Structure 1
Amino acid sequence: MSTVDLVPLVDEGLGNSAYLVDLGDGRAMVVDVSLDLRGAWQAARRRGLRLAFAADTHLHADFVSGVRQLAATEGTQVLASAAGHREFAHTGLHDGDEIDLGGLRLRALATPGHTHEHLAFLLLDGDRPQGVFTGGSLIVGAAARTDLVSPNETESLARQQYASLRRLAALPDEVAVWPTHGAGSFCSAPPGAQRTSTIGAEKATNPLLRARDEDAFVTGLLDSLGSFPPYFLRLAEHNRRGPAVLDADPALPSLDGARVRSLQAEGAQVVDVRPVRQFATDHVPGALSVPLRPAFASWLGWLTSPEHPLVIVRSEEQDPTEIAWQATKIGRIDLAGELDGGMPAWTSDGQPTSSTRLLGADEITHQRVLDVRQDAEFAEGHVPGATHVELGTLADRADALPHAPTVVMCGHGERAMGAAGLLEQAGHRDLAVLEGGPQDWATTTGRSLEEGQ
Structure 2
Amino acid sequence: MGFTDEHLIPLVDEGLGNSAYLVDLGDGSALAVDASRDLRALRAAAERRGLTLRFAADTHLHADFLSGAVQLGHDDGATVLASAAGRRAFPHVALADADEADLGGLTLRALATPGHTDEHLSFLLLDGVRELGVFTGGSLIVDSAARTDLLGADRAEELARAQYRSLRRLATLPDEAAVWPTHGAGSFCSAPAGRERTSTIGAQKQANPLLAEADEDAFVARLLGGLGSYPAYFDRLTEVNRRGPAVLTVAAVLPALTVDEIEGVRVEGGHVVDVRPVADFAAGHVPGAISIPLRAQFATWLGWLLPDTSPLVFVTGADQDVTEIVWQAWKIGYERLAGHLAGGMPAWTAAGGDQQHIELLSAERVGGRPVLDVRQDAEHAAGHIPAAAHIELGDLAEHADDVPRDAVVACGHGERAMTAASLLQRAGHTDLAVLDGGPDDWAATHGRALAHDTERTTRR
Task: Determine which of 69, 91, 94 is the counterpart of 2:93.
Answer: 91
The aligned counterpart of 2:26 is 24
Task: Determine which of 73, 77, 80 is the counterpart of 1:78.
Answer: 80
The aligned counterpart of 2:123 is 121
The aligned counterpart of 2:181 is 179
The aligned counterpart of 2:235 is 233
Contact persistence 2:372–2:403 (CA under 8 A): no
The aligned counterpart of 1:169 is 171
Post-superposition shift, 1:263?
1.0
The aligned counterpart of 1:346 is 348
Structure 2 counterpart of 1:148, one-letter code = L
Instruction: Give secondary structure in 1 for the equivalent of 2:209.
Output: coil
Unaligned segments of structure 1, at least 5 residues: none
Structure 2 counterpart of 1:59, one-letter code = L
Instruction: Give secondary structure in 1 for the equivalent of 2:210.
Output: coil
The aligned counterpart of 1:400 is 402
Contact persistence 1:140–1:193 (CA under 8 A): no
Aligned-partner Cα distance in 2 for 1:158–1:235: 21
Give 4+ residue runs of structure 1 displaced > 2 Å after superposition: 1-4, 399-402
The aligned counterpart of 1:110 is 112
The aligned counterpart of 1:215 is 217
Contact persistence 1:442–1:448 (CA under 8 A): yes
Q: Alignment identity in percent?
A: 64
Task: Determine which of 139, 143, 153 is the counterpart of 2:145.
Answer: 143
Question: TM-score when scaled to structure 1?
Answer: 0.98
Contact persistence 2:83–2:96 (CA under 8 A): yes
Instruction: Give secondary structure in 2 for the equivalent of 1:44.
Output: helix
Post-superposition shift, 1:2?
6.8
Aligned-partner Cα distance in 2 for 1:417–1:17: 29
| Aligned residue pairs, count | 452
CA RMSD after TM alignment? 1.1
The one-character-per-residue Cα deviations of 1:26-64 (angstroms, maximum 9, x if unpaired) are 100000000000111111111111000000000000001
- Whether 1:432 and 2:433 are equivalent positions in the alignment is yes
- Whether 1:379 and 2:381 are equivalent positions in the alignment is yes
Contact persistence 1:3–1:130 (CA under 8 A): no
The aligned counterpart of 1:134 is 136
The aligned counterpart of 1:63 is 65
Aligned-partner Cα distance in 2 for 1:72–1:164: 33
Aligned-partner Cα distance in 2 for 1:251–1:116: 37
Instruction: Give secondary structure in 1 for the equivalent of 2:272.
Output: strand
Aligned-partner Cα distance in 2 for 1:168–1:309: 45
Post-superposition shift, 1:344?
1.0
Aligned-partner Cα distance in 2 for 1:159–1:234: 24
Aligned-partner Cα distance in 1 for 2:253–2:64: 21
Instruction: Give secondary structure in 1 for the equivalent of 2:206.
Output: helix
Aligned-partner Cα distance in 2 for 1:168–1:445: 49
Aligned-partner Cα distance in 2 for 1:364–1:29: 53
Unaligned segments of structure 2, at least 5 residues: none
Structure 2 counterpart of 1:25, one-letter code = D
- Whether 1:45 and 2:47 are equivalent positions in the alignment is yes
Instruction: Give secondary structure in 1 for the equivalent of 2:450.
Output: coil
The aligned counterpart of 2:333 is 331
Structure 1 counterpart of 2:286, one-letter code = V
Question: TM-score when scaled to structure 2?
Answer: 0.97
- Whether 1:360 and 2:362 are equivalent positions in the alignment is yes
Instruction: Give secondary structure in 2 for the equivalent of 1:208.
Output: helix
Contact persistence 1:274–1:313 (CA under 8 A): yes
